[in-house]
Structure 1
Amino acid sequence: MVSQRRTLTRAGLSLSIQVSGPLDPASVPVVLVHGMGGDRTTWRPLASKLRKAGRTVVSFDMRGHGRTGPAESYLLDDFRDDLSAVVDDLGAERVDLVGHSLGAHTALRFAISTPQRARRIVLEEVPPIPRDAADLAEEVTPSATLGERIRGIGSLVANPGPFLRFDRALGDPVMSAFAIAEPAWWCSLQQVTAPTLVVSGGRRSFLPPRHLRDLAYALPSGDFLTIEAGHSVHRDRRDEFTEVVLAHLS
Protein backbone atom coordinates (compact mmCIF):
# COMPACT_ATOMS: atom_id res chain seq x y z
CA MET A 1 0.00 0.00 0.00
CA VAL A 2 1.11 3.55 -0.65
CA SER A 3 -0.03 6.72 1.10
CA GLN A 4 1.70 9.97 0.40
CA ARG A 5 1.11 13.68 0.13
CA ARG A 6 3.10 15.58 -2.39
CA THR A 7 3.24 18.96 -4.06
CA LEU A 8 3.34 19.58 -7.79
CA THR A 9 4.51 23.01 -8.91
CA ARG A 10 3.23 24.40 -12.21
CA ALA A 11 2.75 27.95 -13.49
CA GLY A 12 3.65 29.39 -10.10
CA LEU A 13 1.06 27.24 -8.33
CA SER A 14 1.74 24.43 -5.84
CA LEU A 15 -0.89 21.72 -6.28
CA SER A 16 -1.44 19.69 -3.12
CA ILE A 17 -1.95 15.99 -4.00
CA GLN A 18 -2.82 12.87 -2.00
CA VAL A 19 -2.05 9.40 -3.41
CA SER A 20 -3.16 6.28 -1.54
CA GLY A 21 -3.96 2.64 -2.16
CA PRO A 22 -2.26 -0.44 -3.61
CA LEU A 23 1.09 0.13 -5.27
CA ASP A 24 0.42 -1.52 -8.62
CA PRO A 25 1.98 0.12 -11.70
CA ALA A 26 -0.36 -1.85 -13.96
CA SER A 27 -3.54 -0.58 -12.31
CA VAL A 28 -5.65 2.37 -13.44
CA PRO A 29 -5.74 5.09 -10.72
CA VAL A 30 -8.99 6.79 -9.78
CA VAL A 31 -8.65 10.59 -9.73
CA LEU A 32 -11.21 12.42 -7.59
CA VAL A 33 -11.92 16.07 -8.47
CA HIS A 34 -13.85 18.07 -5.85
CA GLY A 35 -16.38 20.84 -6.37
CA MET A 36 -16.25 24.58 -5.79
CA GLY A 37 -15.77 25.45 -2.13
CA GLY A 38 -14.54 21.97 -1.21
CA ASP A 39 -11.14 20.30 -1.20
CA ARG A 40 -9.76 16.79 -1.48
CA THR A 41 -10.87 15.89 2.07
CA THR A 42 -14.52 15.93 0.96
CA TRP A 43 -13.82 12.64 -0.84
CA ARG A 44 -12.54 10.72 2.21
CA PRO A 45 -15.48 8.28 2.57
CA LEU A 46 -15.49 7.41 -1.14
CA ALA A 47 -11.69 7.19 -1.25
CA SER A 48 -11.74 4.70 1.62
CA LYS A 49 -14.22 2.44 -0.19
CA LEU A 50 -12.21 2.62 -3.41
CA ARG A 51 -9.02 1.63 -1.61
CA LYS A 52 -10.80 -1.32 0.01
CA ALA A 53 -11.86 -2.34 -3.50
CA GLY A 54 -8.18 -2.45 -4.46
CA ARG A 55 -7.95 0.86 -6.29
CA THR A 56 -5.19 3.46 -6.13
CA VAL A 57 -6.88 6.79 -5.33
CA VAL A 58 -5.59 10.24 -6.21
CA SER A 59 -7.18 13.46 -4.95
CA PHE A 60 -5.91 17.01 -5.06
CA ASP A 61 -6.87 20.53 -4.05
CA MET A 62 -7.84 22.54 -7.10
CA ARG A 63 -6.52 26.07 -7.53
CA GLY A 64 -8.18 28.44 -5.09
CA HIS A 65 -8.95 25.58 -2.71
CA GLY A 66 -7.40 23.80 0.24
CA ARG A 67 -3.64 23.67 0.59
CA THR A 68 -3.09 24.55 -3.07
CA GLY A 69 -4.12 28.12 -2.32
CA PRO A 70 -5.17 31.04 -4.52
CA ALA A 71 -4.16 31.58 -8.14
CA GLU A 72 -4.00 34.58 -10.45
CA SER A 73 -6.30 33.04 -13.07
CA TYR A 74 -9.51 31.02 -12.75
CA LEU A 75 -10.43 30.17 -16.34
CA LEU A 76 -12.21 26.84 -16.79
CA ASP A 77 -9.29 25.61 -18.88
CA ASP A 78 -6.91 26.49 -16.02
CA PHE A 79 -8.64 23.88 -13.85
CA ARG A 80 -8.43 21.38 -16.71
CA ASP A 81 -4.73 22.03 -17.20
CA ASP A 82 -4.10 21.51 -13.47
CA LEU A 83 -5.84 18.13 -13.69
CA SER A 84 -3.74 17.25 -16.74
CA ALA A 85 -0.60 18.10 -14.79
CA VAL A 86 -1.67 15.84 -11.93
CA VAL A 87 -2.32 12.94 -14.33
CA ASP A 88 1.03 13.54 -16.04
CA ASP A 89 2.75 13.50 -12.65
CA LEU A 90 1.23 10.10 -11.89
CA GLY A 91 2.88 8.60 -14.93
CA ALA A 92 -0.29 6.65 -15.71
CA GLU A 93 -1.36 6.16 -19.31
CA ARG A 94 -5.06 6.13 -18.37
CA VAL A 95 -7.12 7.09 -15.34
CA ASP A 96 -10.68 6.80 -14.11
CA LEU A 97 -12.26 10.12 -13.15
CA VAL A 98 -14.90 11.02 -10.56
CA GLY A 99 -15.83 14.69 -10.32
CA HIS A 100 -18.39 16.81 -8.49
CA SER A 101 -19.85 20.08 -9.84
CA LEU A 102 -16.94 22.29 -10.99
CA GLY A 103 -14.67 19.26 -10.56
CA ALA A 104 -16.97 17.21 -12.81
CA HIS A 105 -16.85 19.93 -15.46
CA THR A 106 -13.07 19.96 -15.12
CA ALA A 107 -12.91 16.18 -15.58
CA LEU A 108 -15.12 16.47 -18.66
CA ARG A 109 -12.88 19.14 -20.19
CA PHE A 110 -9.91 16.86 -19.58
CA ALA A 111 -11.68 13.99 -21.36
CA ILE A 112 -12.55 16.24 -24.30
CA SER A 113 -8.96 17.42 -24.74
CA THR A 114 -7.26 14.04 -24.13
CA PRO A 115 -9.91 11.33 -24.63
CA GLN A 116 -7.34 8.55 -24.84
CA ARG A 117 -6.34 9.12 -21.20
CA ALA A 118 -9.79 8.71 -19.62
CA ARG A 119 -10.94 5.09 -19.17
CA ARG A 120 -14.21 5.56 -17.24
CA ILE A 121 -15.87 8.68 -15.84
CA VAL A 122 -18.49 9.58 -13.22
CA LEU A 123 -19.81 13.15 -13.36
CA GLU A 124 -21.84 14.16 -10.30
CA GLU A 125 -24.01 17.25 -10.77
CA VAL A 126 -21.87 18.49 -13.68
CA PRO A 127 -22.83 22.02 -14.83
CA PRO A 128 -23.05 22.15 -18.64
CA ILE A 129 -22.16 25.20 -20.69
CA PRO A 130 -25.33 26.90 -22.04
CA ARG A 131 -26.16 25.86 -25.60
CA ASP A 132 -28.08 28.86 -26.82
CA ALA A 133 -30.16 31.91 -25.90
CA ALA A 134 -32.91 29.69 -24.51
CA ASP A 135 -30.50 28.14 -22.02
CA LEU A 136 -29.22 31.58 -21.06
CA ALA A 137 -32.76 32.83 -20.51
CA GLU A 138 -33.30 30.12 -17.89
CA GLU A 139 -31.59 31.68 -14.90
CA VAL A 140 -29.86 29.09 -12.73
CA THR A 141 -28.79 30.38 -9.34
CA PRO A 142 -26.81 28.21 -6.92
CA SER A 143 -29.00 27.49 -3.93
CA ALA A 144 -29.54 24.81 -1.32
CA THR A 145 -32.55 23.25 0.34
CA LEU A 146 -33.01 23.53 4.10
CA GLY A 147 -31.79 19.96 4.51
CA GLU A 148 -28.67 20.67 2.46
CA ARG A 149 -27.96 23.77 4.53
CA ILE A 150 -28.25 21.80 7.77
CA ARG A 151 -25.99 19.04 6.46
CA GLY A 152 -23.61 21.67 5.10
CA ILE A 153 -23.34 23.28 8.53
CA GLY A 154 -22.63 19.87 10.03
CA SER A 155 -19.88 19.28 7.47
CA LEU A 156 -18.44 22.73 8.15
CA VAL A 157 -18.27 22.09 11.89
CA ALA A 158 -16.67 18.68 11.36
CA ASN A 159 -14.22 19.91 8.71
CA PRO A 160 -13.87 23.74 8.52
CA GLY A 161 -10.70 23.62 6.40
CA PRO A 162 -12.34 23.80 2.94
CA PHE A 163 -14.42 26.85 3.90
CA LEU A 164 -11.53 28.69 5.53
CA ARG A 165 -9.10 28.12 2.65
CA PHE A 166 -11.50 28.75 -0.24
CA ASP A 167 -10.55 31.77 -2.38
CA ARG A 168 -13.79 33.71 -2.87
CA ALA A 169 -12.21 35.54 -5.81
CA LEU A 170 -12.78 32.53 -8.07
CA GLY A 171 -16.58 32.73 -7.84
CA ASP A 172 -17.11 35.55 -10.32
CA PRO A 173 -14.87 34.31 -13.16
CA VAL A 174 -16.20 30.77 -12.89
CA MET A 175 -19.87 31.78 -12.80
CA SER A 176 -19.28 34.23 -15.66
CA ALA A 177 -17.89 31.40 -17.80
CA PHE A 178 -21.10 29.45 -17.29
CA ALA A 179 -23.13 32.48 -18.42
CA ILE A 180 -21.87 32.38 -22.03
CA ALA A 181 -23.47 30.15 -24.66
CA GLU A 182 -20.98 27.90 -26.47
CA PRO A 183 -22.68 25.60 -29.01
CA ALA A 184 -19.23 24.35 -30.08
CA TRP A 185 -18.65 22.97 -26.57
CA TRP A 186 -21.64 20.68 -27.01
CA CYS A 187 -20.20 19.47 -30.32
CA SER A 188 -16.89 18.74 -28.60
CA LEU A 189 -18.63 16.20 -26.33
CA GLN A 190 -18.44 13.79 -29.27
CA GLN A 191 -14.71 13.49 -28.60
CA VAL A 192 -15.25 11.80 -25.23
CA THR A 193 -14.84 8.06 -25.80
CA ALA A 194 -14.94 6.85 -22.17
CA PRO A 195 -18.12 5.28 -20.79
CA THR A 196 -19.49 8.17 -18.73
CA LEU A 197 -22.15 8.16 -16.03
CA VAL A 198 -23.83 11.50 -15.35
CA VAL A 199 -25.42 11.60 -11.88
CA SER A 200 -28.12 14.19 -11.17
CA GLY A 201 -29.25 15.19 -7.69
CA GLY A 202 -32.79 15.41 -9.06
CA ARG A 203 -35.44 18.00 -8.37
CA ARG A 204 -33.78 19.15 -5.14
CA SER A 205 -30.76 20.42 -7.09
CA PHE A 206 -30.45 23.92 -8.55
CA LEU A 207 -29.13 22.29 -11.76
CA PRO A 208 -32.13 21.27 -13.91
CA PRO A 209 -31.96 17.48 -14.35
CA ARG A 210 -33.03 17.73 -17.99
CA HIS A 211 -29.84 19.64 -18.84
CA LEU A 212 -27.70 16.93 -17.27
CA ARG A 213 -29.73 14.29 -19.11
CA ASP A 214 -29.16 16.13 -22.40
CA LEU A 215 -25.43 16.23 -21.66
CA ALA A 216 -25.32 12.52 -20.87
CA TYR A 217 -27.05 11.59 -24.11
CA ALA A 218 -24.84 13.96 -26.12
CA LEU A 219 -21.86 11.80 -25.13
CA PRO A 220 -21.03 8.82 -27.37
CA SER A 221 -21.05 6.43 -24.37
CA GLY A 222 -23.04 8.44 -21.84
CA ASP A 223 -25.59 7.22 -19.32
CA PHE A 224 -27.80 9.11 -16.89
CA LEU A 225 -28.90 8.40 -13.32
CA THR A 226 -30.92 10.39 -10.80
CA ILE A 227 -30.36 10.13 -7.05
CA GLU A 228 -32.74 12.51 -5.28
CA ALA A 229 -30.33 14.30 -2.97
CA GLY A 230 -29.74 17.86 -4.15
CA HIS A 231 -26.39 19.12 -5.33
CA SER A 232 -24.12 17.11 -2.98
CA VAL A 233 -25.08 13.55 -3.80
CA HIS A 234 -21.80 12.05 -2.56
CA ARG A 235 -22.33 13.71 0.82
CA ASP A 236 -26.06 13.31 1.36
CA ARG A 237 -26.62 9.89 -0.24
CA ARG A 238 -23.15 8.53 0.43
CA ASP A 239 -23.80 4.78 0.35
CA GLU A 240 -25.93 4.87 -2.78
CA PHE A 241 -23.46 7.12 -4.60
CA THR A 242 -20.51 4.94 -3.60
CA GLU A 243 -22.28 1.82 -4.83
CA VAL A 244 -22.97 3.47 -8.18
CA VAL A 245 -19.37 4.65 -8.55
CA LEU A 246 -17.89 1.24 -7.72
CA ALA A 247 -20.22 -0.46 -10.18
CA HIS A 248 -19.45 1.95 -13.01
CA LEU A 249 -15.68 1.95 -12.50
CA SER A 250 -15.57 -1.84 -12.36
Structure 2
Amino acid sequence: MKLAHKTLGNGPVLVILHGLFGSADNWLSIARELENSFSLVLVDQRNHGDSPHSSTWNYEVMAEDLAELLDDLGHERVFLMGHSMGGKTAMRFATQYPERVEKLLVADIAPRAYPIHHQEILAGLNAVDVERLASRKEADEQLAQHISHKGIRQFLLKALGRDEQKGFKWRINLPVITEKIEEVGRALPEEARFEGATLFMGGANSDYIREEDKDLIQKHFPNSNLIYIKQAGHWLHAEQPDAVIQTIKAFFK
Protein backbone atom coordinates (compact mmCIF):
# COMPACT_ATOMS: atom_id res chain seq x y z
CA MET A 1 0.00 0.00 0.00
CA LYS A 2 1.25 3.46 -0.91
CA LEU A 3 1.05 5.50 2.30
CA ALA A 4 0.48 9.23 2.44
CA HIS A 5 3.29 11.03 4.22
CA LYS A 6 4.92 14.39 4.84
CA THR A 7 8.65 15.10 4.67
CA LEU A 8 10.62 18.01 6.08
CA GLY A 9 14.03 18.89 7.51
CA ASN A 10 17.62 17.85 6.91
CA GLY A 11 19.85 15.25 8.52
CA PRO A 12 19.56 11.58 9.41
CA VAL A 13 16.15 10.11 8.58
CA LEU A 14 13.63 9.91 11.43
CA VAL A 15 10.27 8.24 10.70
CA ILE A 16 7.35 9.00 13.06
CA LEU A 17 4.16 6.92 13.28
CA HIS A 18 0.98 8.30 14.88
CA GLY A 19 -1.52 6.53 17.11
CA LEU A 20 -5.09 5.27 16.70
CA PHE A 21 -7.59 7.76 15.20
CA GLY A 22 -4.68 10.10 14.39
CA SER A 23 -2.57 11.13 11.43
CA ALA A 24 0.83 12.52 10.50
CA ASP A 25 -0.45 16.00 11.41
CA ASN A 26 -0.48 15.05 15.10
CA TRP A 27 3.31 15.21 15.11
CA LEU A 28 3.80 18.19 12.81
CA SER A 29 4.46 20.74 15.57
CA ILE A 30 7.03 18.41 17.16
CA ALA A 31 8.60 17.80 13.74
CA ARG A 32 9.04 21.51 13.11
CA GLU A 33 11.20 21.70 16.23
CA LEU A 34 13.31 18.79 14.95
CA GLU A 35 13.72 19.73 11.28
CA ASN A 36 17.16 21.28 11.80
CA SER A 37 18.43 17.98 13.18
CA PHE A 38 16.61 15.31 11.14
CA SER A 39 15.05 14.53 7.79
CA LEU A 40 11.57 13.69 9.04
CA VAL A 41 9.03 11.36 7.48
CA LEU A 42 5.60 11.72 9.09
CA VAL A 43 3.40 8.83 8.04
CA ASP A 44 -0.36 8.34 7.73
CA GLN A 45 -0.85 4.65 8.53
CA ARG A 46 -3.42 2.67 6.53
CA ASN A 47 -7.04 3.53 7.33
CA HIS A 48 -5.92 6.88 8.74
CA GLY A 49 -5.30 10.38 7.41
CA ASP A 50 -4.88 10.55 3.65
CA SER A 51 -3.65 6.96 3.25
CA PRO A 52 -5.82 4.36 1.49
CA HIS A 53 -8.52 2.43 3.31
CA SER A 54 -8.47 -1.36 3.45
CA SER A 55 -10.45 -4.13 5.10
CA THR A 56 -7.11 -5.76 6.01
CA TRP A 57 -5.81 -4.07 9.12
CA ASN A 58 -3.22 -5.53 11.50
CA TYR A 59 0.35 -4.87 12.59
CA GLU A 60 1.89 -7.29 10.13
CA VAL A 61 0.52 -5.43 7.10
CA MET A 62 1.19 -2.04 8.68
CA ALA A 63 4.84 -3.02 9.07
CA GLU A 64 4.89 -4.14 5.44
CA ASP A 65 3.34 -0.80 4.44
CA LEU A 66 6.22 0.99 6.13
CA ALA A 67 8.80 -1.20 4.41
CA GLU A 68 7.22 -0.33 1.05
CA LEU A 69 7.29 3.39 1.87
CA LEU A 70 10.97 3.28 2.85
CA ASP A 71 11.75 1.42 -0.38
CA ASP A 72 9.91 4.07 -2.38
CA LEU A 73 11.78 6.86 -0.59
CA GLY A 74 15.14 5.09 -0.95
CA HIS A 75 15.81 4.82 2.79
CA GLU A 76 17.61 1.59 3.66
CA ARG A 77 18.10 2.29 7.39
CA VAL A 78 16.33 4.84 9.59
CA PHE A 79 15.66 6.10 13.07
CA LEU A 80 12.11 4.96 13.91
CA MET A 81 9.61 6.30 16.41
CA GLY A 82 5.96 5.45 17.06
CA HIS A 83 3.30 6.51 19.56
CA SER A 84 0.65 4.14 20.92
CA MET A 85 -0.66 2.15 17.92
CA GLY A 86 2.25 3.62 15.95
CA GLY A 87 4.57 2.30 18.65
CA LYS A 88 3.17 -1.18 18.15
CA THR A 89 3.73 -0.84 14.38
CA ALA A 90 7.26 0.41 15.01
CA MET A 91 8.01 -2.55 17.30
CA ARG A 92 6.65 -4.99 14.74
CA PHE A 93 8.68 -3.35 11.95
CA ALA A 94 11.90 -3.38 13.99
CA THR A 95 11.52 -7.07 14.80
CA GLN A 96 10.59 -7.99 11.20
CA TYR A 97 13.21 -5.76 9.55
CA PRO A 98 15.93 -5.23 12.19
CA GLU A 99 18.53 -4.37 9.56
CA ARG A 100 16.48 -1.30 8.58
CA VAL A 101 16.27 0.30 12.04
CA GLU A 102 19.23 2.19 13.46
CA LYS A 103 17.46 3.07 16.72
CA LEU A 104 13.88 2.61 17.95
CA LEU A 105 11.83 4.91 20.20
CA VAL A 106 8.45 3.68 21.46
CA ALA A 107 6.14 6.26 23.02
CA ASP A 108 3.75 5.13 25.77
CA ILE A 109 2.95 1.58 24.73
CA ALA A 110 4.33 -1.81 25.76
CA PRO A 111 4.69 -5.07 23.76
CA ARG A 112 1.90 -6.74 25.75
CA ALA A 113 -1.74 -7.26 24.83
CA TYR A 114 -4.22 -4.55 25.81
CA PRO A 115 -7.95 -5.10 26.35
CA ILE A 116 -10.39 -3.22 24.13
CA HIS A 117 -10.93 0.16 25.79
CA HIS A 118 -12.11 2.52 23.04
CA GLN A 119 -15.81 1.65 23.15
CA GLU A 120 -17.00 5.13 24.17
CA ILE A 121 -14.90 6.81 21.50
CA LEU A 122 -16.15 4.43 18.81
CA ALA A 123 -19.73 4.89 19.96
CA GLY A 124 -19.30 8.65 19.74
CA LEU A 125 -17.68 8.60 16.30
CA ASN A 126 -20.32 6.27 14.90
CA ALA A 127 -23.09 8.44 16.36
CA VAL A 128 -22.01 11.49 14.37
CA ASP A 129 -24.36 11.86 11.40
CA VAL A 130 -21.58 12.75 8.96
CA GLU A 131 -23.79 12.83 5.84
CA ARG A 132 -26.08 15.48 7.33
CA LEU A 133 -23.52 17.61 9.18
CA ALA A 134 -23.78 21.35 8.59
CA SER A 135 -20.68 22.33 10.57
CA ARG A 136 -17.83 21.12 12.76
CA LYS A 137 -19.61 22.66 15.71
CA GLU A 138 -22.55 20.36 15.06
CA ALA A 139 -20.18 17.36 14.93
CA ASP A 140 -18.68 18.40 18.26
CA GLU A 141 -22.14 18.67 19.81
CA GLN A 142 -23.05 15.16 18.64
CA LEU A 143 -19.72 13.78 19.84
CA ALA A 144 -20.15 15.46 23.22
CA GLN A 145 -23.15 13.24 23.94
CA HIS A 146 -20.68 10.37 24.28
CA ILE A 147 -17.35 12.05 25.07
CA SER A 148 -17.30 14.81 27.69
CA HIS A 149 -13.56 15.58 27.50
CA LYS A 150 -13.16 18.55 25.15
CA GLY A 151 -9.51 17.82 24.39
CA ILE A 152 -10.30 14.28 23.25
CA ARG A 153 -13.12 15.58 21.05
CA GLN A 154 -10.81 18.16 19.48
CA PHE A 155 -8.28 15.45 18.71
CA LEU A 156 -10.91 13.15 17.18
CA LEU A 157 -12.41 15.93 15.08
CA LYS A 158 -9.06 16.40 13.34
CA ALA A 159 -10.04 13.21 11.50
CA LEU A 160 -13.12 14.93 10.08
CA GLY A 161 -12.40 16.02 6.53
CA ARG A 162 -14.24 17.17 3.42
CA ASP A 163 -15.29 15.09 0.42
CA GLU A 164 -15.33 16.15 -3.23
CA GLN A 165 -18.82 17.62 -2.84
CA LYS A 166 -17.60 19.78 0.09
CA GLY A 167 -19.54 17.63 2.52
CA PHE A 168 -17.99 16.03 5.59
CA LYS A 169 -16.34 12.62 5.82
CA TRP A 170 -14.17 10.72 8.25
CA ARG A 171 -10.54 10.46 7.14
CA ILE A 172 -10.30 7.27 9.18
CA ASN A 173 -11.83 4.00 8.03
CA LEU A 174 -14.36 3.98 10.84
CA PRO A 175 -16.26 0.80 9.84
CA VAL A 176 -13.10 -1.34 9.70
CA ILE A 177 -11.61 0.19 12.86
CA THR A 178 -14.88 -0.46 14.68
CA GLU A 179 -15.08 -4.05 13.43
CA LYS A 180 -11.43 -4.90 14.07
CA ILE A 181 -10.62 -2.76 17.11
CA GLU A 182 -9.17 -5.79 18.90
CA GLU A 183 -6.25 -5.70 16.43
CA VAL A 184 -4.95 -2.50 18.05
CA GLY A 185 -4.40 -4.22 21.37
CA ARG A 186 -2.63 -7.33 20.12
CA ALA A 187 0.68 -8.28 21.71
CA LEU A 188 3.96 -8.46 19.87
CA PRO A 189 4.54 -12.06 18.67
CA GLU A 190 6.22 -14.26 21.28
CA GLU A 191 9.35 -14.79 19.19
CA ALA A 192 9.79 -11.14 18.14
CA ARG A 193 13.13 -9.64 19.13
CA PHE A 194 15.12 -6.51 18.25
CA GLU A 195 18.72 -6.25 19.44
CA GLY A 196 19.23 -2.58 18.50
CA ALA A 197 19.20 0.43 20.79
CA THR A 198 15.64 1.06 21.98
CA LEU A 199 14.02 3.63 24.25
CA PHE A 200 10.56 3.28 25.76
CA MET A 201 9.22 6.72 26.70
CA GLY A 202 6.16 6.59 28.92
CA GLY A 203 3.95 9.28 30.41
CA ALA A 204 4.37 9.39 34.18
CA ASN A 205 0.61 9.85 34.61
CA SER A 206 -0.27 7.11 32.09
CA ASP A 207 -0.83 3.43 32.85
CA TYR A 208 0.07 2.20 29.36
CA ILE A 209 3.60 1.18 30.45
CA ARG A 210 3.55 -0.39 33.90
CA GLU A 211 6.27 -1.55 36.24
CA GLU A 212 5.38 -5.18 35.49
CA ASP A 213 5.95 -4.58 31.76
CA LYS A 214 9.70 -4.17 32.21
CA ASP A 215 10.56 -7.88 32.00
CA LEU A 216 8.55 -8.32 28.80
CA ILE A 217 10.17 -5.22 27.29
CA GLN A 218 13.62 -6.62 28.06
CA LYS A 219 12.68 -9.99 26.58
CA HIS A 220 11.75 -8.47 23.22
CA PHE A 221 14.20 -5.53 23.34
CA PRO A 222 17.28 -6.55 25.35
CA ASN A 223 19.15 -3.33 24.52
CA SER A 224 16.41 -1.04 25.81
CA ASN A 225 15.82 1.58 28.48
CA LEU A 226 12.61 2.96 29.95
CA ILE A 227 12.04 6.57 31.01
CA TYR A 228 8.95 8.50 32.04
CA ILE A 229 8.05 12.05 31.05
CA LYS A 230 6.93 13.94 34.16
CA GLN A 231 3.46 15.48 34.30
CA ALA A 232 2.43 13.70 31.10
CA GLY A 233 -0.29 11.18 30.33
CA HIS A 234 -0.77 9.07 27.23
CA TRP A 235 -0.70 12.13 24.92
CA LEU A 236 2.77 13.04 26.19
CA HIS A 237 3.78 14.89 23.01
CA ALA A 238 0.81 17.24 23.41
CA GLU A 239 1.13 17.63 27.19
CA GLN A 240 4.92 17.99 27.50
CA PRO A 241 6.24 18.79 24.01
CA ASP A 242 9.52 20.34 25.16
CA ALA A 243 10.47 17.30 27.22
CA VAL A 244 9.54 14.97 24.36
CA ILE A 245 11.59 17.00 21.87
CA GLN A 246 14.65 17.00 24.11
CA THR A 247 14.31 13.25 24.71
CA ILE A 248 14.08 12.57 20.97
CA LYS A 249 17.13 14.69 20.23
CA ALA A 250 19.20 13.14 23.01
CA PHE A 251 18.35 9.55 22.09
CA PHE A 252 18.71 9.73 18.33
CA LYS A 253 21.80 11.93 18.42
TM-score by length of 2: 0.75
Shift of 1:52: 2.3
For structure 1, the residue ranges without an aligned partner over 5 or more in a row are 1-9, 131-135
Q: Deviations over 1:123-182 (max 9, x none)?
A: 00224234xxxxx8xx563599xxx9343334456x454893111222442424635x77
Q: 1:211 to 1:108 in 2, by over 3 A?
A: farther
Aligned twin of 2:26: 42
Shift of 1:104: 0.7
For the 8 Å contact 2:20–2:86, the answer to whether it is kept is yes
Superposed CA RMSD in Å reads 2.7
Q: 1:243 to 1:172 in 2, by over 3 A?
A: farther
Indicate the larger mover: 221-230 or 36-45.
221-230
What SS is found at the alignment partner of 2:200? strand
Q: Deviations over 1:198-236 (max 9, x none)?
A: 11223434x252354334322121100112422111111
Structure with bigger helix share is 1
Letter in 2 for 1:78: V
For structure 2, the residue ranges without an aligned partner over 5 or more in a row are 121-147, 162-168
Indicate the larger mover: 223-232 or 113-122.
223-232
What SS is found at the alignment partner of 2:112? coil
2-structure distance, mates of 1:91, 1:21: 16
| 1:88 and 2:94 correspond | no
| 1:233 and 2:246 correspond | no
What SS is found at the alignment partner of 2:45? coil
Find runs of 4+ consecutive structure 1 residues off by over 6 angstroms: none
Q: 1:77 to 1:247 in 2, by over 3 A?
A: same
For the 8 Å contact 1:201–1:209, the answer to whether it is kept is no
Q: 1:120 to 1:143 in 2, by over 3 A?
A: farther
Aligned twin of 1:6: none
| 1:18 and 2:6 correspond | yes
Considering only CA atoms, is the larger Rg found in Structure 1 or Structure 2?
2
TM-score by length of 1: 0.76
Q: State the identity as a percent.
A: 24
1:63-82 superposed matches below 5 A = 63-82=46-65
